[in-house]
Structure 1
Amino acid sequence: MSFNVLKHELVPEHDLLPEEEVQKVLAKFRITRDQLPKIKTSDAAIKVLENVYGHPIQEGSVIKIVRKSETAELFVAYRLVIGG
């Protein structure tokens, strides 16, 4: 990919969450991994993260997305990586 979409001012910060952090998030919100919103492996942000980490982002991984918010300063969302 020749353009890093994560550097665009309108794209929020994306990062791969370590498994122990995933478990903490799931416990905090009392949900299962499958209840998280989804993001496809074909998403441009996932492709950039693969270049950053130097390996494919596996299905079942969780991505942390941090958005700037006018009311809450920062809003953190989580996405489950699925095929596609």
Structure 2
Amino acid sequence: MPPFNILNHEMVPEHRLLNEAEAERILKKLGITREQLPKIRLGDPAIRVLEATAKEKGVIQEGKIVEIRRKSKTADTFVAYRLITR
């Protein structure tokens, strides 16, 4: 884990792991498969912090989906989804 929690930095958007029900709902809403989502690596600093701070160990793994909420001047909040890969 990095020496500090980068998720607390003002420039890093909020990252949240979706549960399976949420993931399936989002995929259905978007009309895509997991493999069609943009990717984020297990080694990404934000993912490493999510893994280190997770209440249950082993929940952050390849194939899971992360929701990323970015602040936007025009859209208030922009939500993106990423598939965790190796």
TM bin (shorter chain): over 0.9
RMSD: 0.8
Match in the other structure for 1:62: 65
**CA deviations over 1:25-64 (Å, ceiling 9, x no partner):** 0000100000000000000001100111142411000000
Give TM-score, length-normalised by structure 2: 0.92
1:23 has 2:12 as partner: no
Match in the other structure for 2:79: 76
CA distance in 1, matches of 2:48, 2:11: 17
Identity score, percent: 55
Give TM-score, length-normalised by structure 1: 0.94
Q: When the two structures are aligned, how many residues end up with a matched partner? A: 83
Q: Secondary structure at the match of 1:48?
A: helix
1:39 has 2:75 as partner: no
1:9 has 2:2 as partner: no
